[in-house]
Amino acid sequence: MIDTLYAKLDAAYPEMVEIRRHLHMNPEPSFQETQTAQFIRDYYEKLGVDVKHNIGGNGVVATIQGAKPGKTVALRADFDALPIQDQKEGVSYRSTVDGVMHACGHDGHTATLLVLGKTLYTMREELAGTYILIHQHAEELVPGGAKSMIEAGVLEGVDAIFGTHLWSTTPFGRIDTRVGPIMAAADSFQLKIQGRGGHGASPHETIDAVVVGSQIVSTLQSLVSRRVDPLESAVLSIGSFVAQNPFNIIADQAVLSGTVRSFKEDVRSLMETEMERVIKGTSLANNSRYEFNFKRGYPAVINHEKETLYIKSIAETVPGVTEVFDCPPQMGGEDFAYYLEEIPGAFFFTGAMPDGDVFPHHHPKFDFKEEAMLVAAKTLGTAAIHFHQ
């Protein structure tokens, strides 16, 4: 049966590439993916697959029922794009939408699951159990699409869930995963400092928001090194510091924003508490005022042990997989975390490093090796089929 799966996927690979390139040329940003959702729905309906749409927003869910009794396994792919201008050179499938592109591989995730779904459907008389194919919208933008789709019931009756991310900086043929935390909780914050502006020649008559902000930035950098247990992980990055004044005017206001990444809830809470303590103390010392908004994003992606070890053992048997690597945790965030909070499952990275220049995810020249979609489809398909045995 598995050999049949591989042969059918190999034969359908050109279609996989065609779908991926079509989606790449027609990207839609998070929460605006109406045409992409319609494309997915149409694909399944033409096959005769049971498909539901507008799940938790723009989500689409297809269900394939095997002829034999068995468990229920879910596979998930996301399909939103990013507000980035495509700057790839020398390819025929650049984005045709100004300021929007698939810079994270979600077009590849969608093409992978669509063709895998089609293949499983043609094999349904041989299969056991139920296969839930979750096509999720809005992974890139908090609050994301996973939570609303879960609230709409996509995990009801599901025994386990698996998902993968094509990874452009990991060598082609390698599967990366690990038991426990694999991706970080991704939080954001904004800080508005209110001082008192004035002439650059008379600083003693002002409360300089730039100076206050600079002190806060400097002190915040000590939180990870001096407040977080050195055996734990955390990142605090200031991404923006804005005080738009001419050179000879002292700013009355500054706005800072950034991100905090962590793996454990106690570290996450500690960072939020300690940040406010530093901000409050520094503001008090400088007689300034502040508004601090810490926004919790996706929780950490925590892989379940049994399902992760299962994926590792499955991947070792898949044609095209050259190595199964126990990877370190990534500081990037993923709302796949919400699925794993509800049911057992595992998330893994499929190596998709392209030939030639390599650009990271969310880069305007991002691309990936398309053959990685075939490796991902075979790995997910093998995991889904063997899950019933």
Tens digit of each residue's pLDDT (9 = 90 or more) over 165-184: 999 999 999 999 999 999 99
Question: Quick one: 258 and 146 in the same domain?
Answer: no
Q: Distance between CA 238 and CA 274 in Å, rounded?
A: 15
- What's residue 324's pLDDT? 98
Q: Which residues of 139-150 are buried (b: 16+ CB within 10 A; e: fewer)?
A: bbbbebbbbbbb
- The domain containing residue 251 runs over which residues? 186-297
Q: Distance between CA 235 and CA 221 in Å, rounded?
A: 9
Locate 89 and state its tokens: 């050179």
Domain boundary among 240, 265, 297: 297
Q: Distance between CA 365 and CA 104 in Å, rounded?
A: 11
Name 296's Cβ contacts closer than 8 Å, sequence gap at least 6.
185, 187, 268
State yes or no: pLDDT of 388 exceeds 90: no
Residue 98 CB neighbour total at 10 angstroms = 8
Question: Quick one: 11 and 120 in the same domain?
Answer: yes
Question: Quick one: 234 and 97 in the same domain?
Answer: no
Q: Distance between CA 375 and CA 355 in Å, rounded?
A: 16
Q: Distance between CA 327 and CA 176 in Å, rounded?
A: 5
Q: Report if pTM > 0.85.
A: yes
Pairing of strands 174-177, 323-326: parallel
Domain boundary among 240, 270, 297: 297
Condensed to tens digits (0 to 9), the pLDDT of residues 262-288 reads: 999 999 999 999 999 999 999 999 999
Segment 39-44 long-range contacts (CB within 8 Å, at least 24 positions apart): 40/79, 40/110, 40/114, 40/135, 43/19, 43/114, 43/118, 44/114, 44/117
Whose tokens are 């045409």? That residue is 35
Question: Quick one: 280 and 323 in the same domain?
Answer: no
DSSP for 29-72 reads BTT--HHHHHHHHHHHHHHT-EEEEEETTTEEEEEEE-SEEEEE
Question: Quick one: 45 and 170 in the same domain?
Answer: yes
Half-sphere CA count of 369, side-chain side, radius 13 A: 23
Domain count within the chain = 2
- Bridge partners of 32, per DSSP, are none
Name 266's Cβ contacts closer than 8 Å, sequence gap at least 6.
none
Question: Quick one: 227 and 369 in the same domain?
Answer: no
Mean pLDDT over 109-138 rounds to 98
CB contact at 8 A, 16 and 373: yes
User: How would residue 113 be classed by pLDDT, with cut points 50, 70 and 90?
Assistant: very high
Question: Quick one: 263 and 209 in the same domain?
Answer: yes
Question: Quick one: 199 and 176 in the same domain?
Answer: no
Q: Output the domain CATH number for residue 215.
A: 3.30.70.360
CB contact at 8 A, 347 and 165: yes
Q: Distance between CA 250 and CA 88 in Å, rounded?
A: 42
CA-based end-to-end distance of the chain: 12
Condensed to tens digits (0 to 9), the pLDDT of residues 43-102 reads: 999 999 999 999 999 999 999 999 999 999 999 999 999 999 999 999 999 999 999 999
Domain boundary among 262, 281, 297: 297
Residue 335 CB neighbour total at 10 angstroms = 26
Q: Output the domain CATH number for residue 112.
A: 3.40.630.10
Question: Quick one: 288 and 312 in the same domain?
Answer: no
Q: Smallest Cα–Cα separation from 311: which of 211, 383, 246, 236?
A: 383
Q: Smallest Cα–Cα separation from 196: which of 183, 207, 205, 180?
A: 207
Instruction: Give the active site residues.
Output: 80, 139
Locate 17 and state its tokens: 């590439």
Whose tokens are 């799940």? That residue is 55
Bond into 143 cis (ω within 30) = yes
Question: Quick one: 121 and 223 in the same domain?
Answer: no
Mean pLDDT over 122-138 rounds to 98
Question: Quick one: 219 and 285 in the same domain?
Answer: yes
CB contact at 8 A, 27 and 100: yes
- What percentage of residues in the chain have a pLDDT greater than 70? 100
Question: Quick one: 174 and 250 in the same domain?
Answer: no
Tell me the average pLDDT of the chain. 97
Helix (H, G, I), strand (E, B) or coil at 315: helix
State yes or no: pLDDT of 389 exceeds 80: no
